[in-house]
Structures are given as structure tokens and as C-alpha cells.
């Protein structure tokens, strides 16, 4: 099974227990800061959310954005996301592949992807970014959020492939084990990758997470 297929199978099976990761006590300060600080960055935006999963971030983003189109590749996670309350009625969900985004015949002026970058094989990053940026208007604010590797807290890295991708072995509540691609980029790697697009990314480190924000030229 290739990394993309492995990832889809893993998250489809993990959907019902996915949000337990947000209950870790040591991460609450970081999460509170992100819940407060991320949504205002998209105030009034037509927002595209990539890999929304179970929609943990979607209600927070929808409170500030003019509209949200949230996509994911697994129906199991989308079903949970759709069931959350969205009082402003400004959220739409769609099953979609982040590597082959549909032609929505519109462009977005905000984009957010939480915990997606780390799951993209290094060899496919440019493919993903090319497709994504084609759906975004000039000047769009883009924010990626992901995990830092924290020794003793993060799942141990079990393997590295020839391209430098790293993998973890994760166990679900049903006892099943899954090999999951999980990369931990550095600020220098992100700057080099996004700099190819003329972006000037701003990197922020928290105790357990990082964010990168940039605007398309």
C-alpha cells in the first residue's frame, strides 16, 4: 500500500476517536492560543480548508470567515464534521482529493490546512502546492498548522525512506497498527519550498505545534 492509501485507510478507521488527540493536558495552552489567534486571520474571507478531517477547526474558522468550503478525502471524517453546529450557515463540505482539487469555477482568498503538510510525501509537495495555488486568488492568505516533534510526547519515528520521509507506527483503540507518513519540516525547509512561489513565509513555533503563514504574490 502506498503512503497516500495508507493514510486514507488510517484516518477512515480513526475517525471516531480522532479528536481525543486534542484532550492531551500538556497541549491545552497551545490549542487555546491557536483557537483564539487563527480565526481572525480569515475574517471576511472566502476560505478553503484543506483536509478538514472531523472538523475540529472548522467551527472556529467559520465564526470569522464569510464562507468556508471544507474538503477531506474520507467520508467517515466528513460525516463527523458535518454534524457539528455552524450557526451562521456558511460552511459547505465536499469529498475531494487535495492532490486533484476540483475546478470550482471560483477562487478563494483564504486557505487553511491543519495537520496536512506533514502527511504529504516530499516528492509530492510541489504537485500539491501547484494545484492549491491555482485555486487561490492573488494575495490570498495561506496558513498551515502542524505538529512539532517533541521527544517523549510525539509518536516515535519508526522508519525513514530513500526520499527522507519519516513514518510512525500508530495503534488505534481497536488494537490495529498503522504505518503513517509523518514529516517534521524545519523553518529553513519551509522557507525554501515556499520561496519558490515568491512567498515570504512567517514561521511561528509553539511548544507542540508550528504555523506557517504567507500571502500569494
What is residue 40's predicted lDDT score, i.e. its pLDDT? Answer: 98
What is residue 135's predicted lDDT score, i.e. its pLDDT? Answer: 95
Which cell is 136 given? 487561490
**Using CA atoms, how far apart are residues 153 and 79, in angstroms rounded to an integer?**
29
The answer to the question of residue 161 being in a domain is: no
Determine phi and psi for 61, rounding to 5 degrees.
-65, -40
What is residue 210's predicted lDDT score, i.e. its pLDDT? Answer: 98
Q: pLDDT for 122-143, tens place per residue?
A: 999 999 999 999 999 999 999 9
Question: For residues 56 and 84, is the Cβ–Cβ distance under 8 A?
Answer: no
Q: Nearest to residue 83, comparing CAs of 40, 19, 32, 24?
A: 19
The answer to the question of residue 168 being in a domain is: no
Domain that holds residue 54: 3-151+186-215
Q: Dump strand ranges (E) for the chain.
A: 46-50, 67-72, 91-95, 108-114, 136-147, 157-160, 166-171, 177-181, 202-205, 209-215
For residue 79, what are the contacts with CB-CB under 8 A and spacing of at least 6?
15
Residue 93 CB-density burial (10 A; 0-12 exposed, 13-18 middle, 19+ buried): buried
Task: State the first-to-last Cα distance of the chain, in angstroms, to the nearest integer.
Answer: 38
What is residue 1's predicted lDDT score, i.e. its pLDDT? Answer: 58
Q: Sort strands 67-72 and 91-95 into parallel, antiparallel or unpaired.
A: parallel
The answer to the question of residue 122 being in a domain is: yes
The answer to the question of residue 167 being in a domain is: no
The answer to the question of residue 117 being in a domain is: yes
Q: What is the CATH number of the domain that holds 60?
A: 3.40.50.150
Domain count, the chain: 1
The answer to the question of residue 104 being in a domain is: yes
Residues of the chain with pLDDT below 50 are none
**Using CA atoms, how far apart are residues 208 and 213, in angstroms rounded to an integer?**
17
The answer to the question of residue 157 being in a domain is: no
The answer to the question of residue 178 being in a domain is: no
What is residue 105's predicted lDDT score, i.e. its pLDDT? Answer: 81
Amino acid at each position: 500500500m502506498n503512503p497516500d492509501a495508507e493514510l486514507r485507510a488510517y484516518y477512515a478507521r480513526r475517525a471516531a476517536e480522532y479528536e481525543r488527540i486534542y484532550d492531551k493536558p500538556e497541549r491545552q495552552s497551545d490549542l487555546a492560543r491557536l483557537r483564539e489567534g487563527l480565526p481572525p486571520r480569515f475574517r471576511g474571507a472566502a476560505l478553503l480548508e484543506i483536509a478538514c478531517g472531523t472538523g475540529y477547526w472548522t467551527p472556529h474558522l467559520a465564526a470569522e470567515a464569510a464562507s468556508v468550503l471544507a474538503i477531506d478525502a474520507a467520508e467517515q471524517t466528513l460525516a463527523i464534521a458535518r454534524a457539528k453546529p455552524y450557526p451562521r450557515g456558511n460552511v459547505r463540505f465536499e469529498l475531494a482529493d487535495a492532490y486533484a482539487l476540483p475546478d470550482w469555477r471560483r477562487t478563494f482568498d483564504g486557505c487553511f490546512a491543519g495537520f496536512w503538510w506533514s502527511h504529504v510525501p516530499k516528492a509530492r509537495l510541489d504537485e500539491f502546492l501547484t494545484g492549491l495555488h491555482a485555486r487561490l486568488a492573488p494575495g490570498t492568505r495561506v496558513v498551515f498548522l502542524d505538529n512539532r516533534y517533541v521527544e517523549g510526547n510525539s509518536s516515535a519515528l519508526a522508519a525513514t525512506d530513500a526520499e527522507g520521509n519519516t513514518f510512525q507506527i500508530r495503534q488505534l483503540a481497536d488494537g490495529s497498527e498503522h504505518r503513517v507518513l509523518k514529516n517534521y519540516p524545519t523553518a529553513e525547509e519551509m522557507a525554501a519550498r515556499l520561496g519558490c512561489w515568491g512567498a515570504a513565509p512567517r514561521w511561528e513555533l509553539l511548544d507542540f505545534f508550528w504555523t506557517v503563514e504567507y500571502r500569494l504574490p
